[in-house]
Chain A
Amino acid sequence: MPLQQAAAKGNHAIPSVVVKYVHATAIAIRMVANADVNAVNKLYLVEPFGSTFFKTLNTIKMKKYTLYALILLMAFSWFPNLKASTNVKLKFNHKIGSVNYAKNLQVKNNLDHDYTITRLEYYISNVIIIHDGGSMDTLKNTYFLMNPSGATETLDLGLRSVTNIEAIQFSIGVDPFNNHANPASFMAGHPLAPKSPSMHWGWTSGYRFLAIEGKSGSSLNQTYQLHGLWDANYYSLRIPVAAIDDNGAKVIELNADYDKVLHDISINSGVIAHGDNTSDRKALQNMRDSVFTNTNGQGDILSIKAIDKSKTILTYPNPAQLNAQINLTVNSTEQVYYKVINLKGAVIKQTLLGTTKLFIDKPGMYTIQAFTAANTLVAMKRQIVL
C-alpha cells in the first residue's frame, strides 16, 4: 500500500506534509542502497513536492522495516551538509579605469581632476547568491571589510547548495541592525571589531560604509576624505553573473573600478565629507551604480536601488512615554505597515497594513520601518521610548 494511502487509512492520521516528506526520504534510501550518490545529491535539487516527483513515489511500496530507517534518515536530512554543497568564491578585479588598482596611483576622474587614493576601505554585507531559477541563498551575519591592496582579491562565500549561479547581490556598508552595535563587543579579527584607522564613527554610533581618502589638485597638494555612512545610504546592488568552475569551486568574477567612486565629485580643491550626505553620499551611490560590473561590463540590475529619501516616517511623540500611543505618518500614497526593531535587531512588533499608531511596552531605542504591501522598505525612523 502506498504510504499516502496507508496514512489515510490508519488509526493515527499522519499529516500529508509528513507523508510527503517520508516519501522523499524513502527514495533516498533506495538510492543509497543502489550506491547512487549522485542521485542522492540530485534529490535535493528537485522540487521536493512536485507532481512528477510524487507520481514516482506513489508507486513505491512500503515495508515495515523501512519505516524506522526513514525516521532516522529524516532526522539526518535536516542537516544542510547532506545537501549538494559547492564552495563558492567571489573574485574582485580591482581597477582604476583600465589599469590595476594600486594606492597612490595618480589618475584623473571624469571631471579631469587629478587625484590619488591613499585609503580605500568599504564593507560588503547582506550577500545573496541568486541561483537555480531565482532561488536566493543569503549569507546571514556575514561581513567583509574590503581594503584593496592588489589587482585581485577573492572572498570565500563558503559551501553553498547551488548549481547554476545567476546573479550576485550585496550591499555596501553595514545593515541597520548591526550598524549600531558596539564595535568593542566583537572579537578581534571580526570585520565589525575596532579597526585602526577606525571604520566606526562614535558620534553617529555607526560604521563608515565607505572610507576613501587621498590627495587631489593638479599638484596633489589638497586633501580629500569621503566617509559615507547612515542607514538610509545602505545600498544594495545585483549583478548578473555566470560562475566559473575552478577545481570544484564556483567562482563569481566581478570588476571593481574605483575611479568611478569619484565620478562627478569635485575634488580639485580638496573636500572633507564625513557623513554629511554631500559628496560622501554621492560616492556611496557611485559604488552602487557604476563601480561593480561583471566581466561583460554589466552592472546593477536591482530595480530598487535605495530607500527613496523623499519618503519619511513621522512619529509623534518622540521620545514617547512607555505604553503611550505613538502616531505614525508616512508621506507615501501607498498603504504601509510597520515593523518595530530593537537594538538587537529583533522585530518586537509588526502592525497591520494601514495602521497609523502603535504602542511600545519596553523602554529603549527602536527602529521603526515602514513597508508596502509588497514588502518594500519605504522609510525608517528612530524611536525612543522612555
Chain B
Amino acid sequence: MADRRYTKTHEWVTVDGKTVTVGITDYAQSQLGDVVFLELPSPGRTLGVRESFGVVESVKAASDLYSPVAGKVSAVNEKLSAKPELVNSDPYGDGWIMKLELTGELPPDLLDEAEYKKVTEAGAH
C-alpha cells in the first residue's frame, strides 16, 4: 500500500477523496501486545490534528490515540468492540479504527513508509 502515511505516534492513514481511514501501525500493535479494548469517538465528533480521540488498552498498558488529520468522524470500526484483537491480527486491514471526513488539507508532516521505518528503528532497543 504505497499511499499509506504514518505519524510519529504510530497511527496510519489512507486517503480516498475526502475520506481518511485511521488505524495503528503494525509496529504499534506489536509493542502494545494483545489489545483487549478500544475507547472510540462517536461519529459526528470533530477532531483537530493530534487531538486525542480514544484509548487502546492492551494487556500491558493503556495508550492514547491521536488523530493524524483534522476532520469529522464519519465511522468507527464497530467490529472492534467484539473483536479488539483485529488490531493485532490485521492492523492495516480489518483492524482499522475510524474514518474521518477531512477538513482542509492533509498535514504536511505525515511520514511515508521509509520515514516511518526510521522512527520505529530509532525507538527499538
B partners with A: no
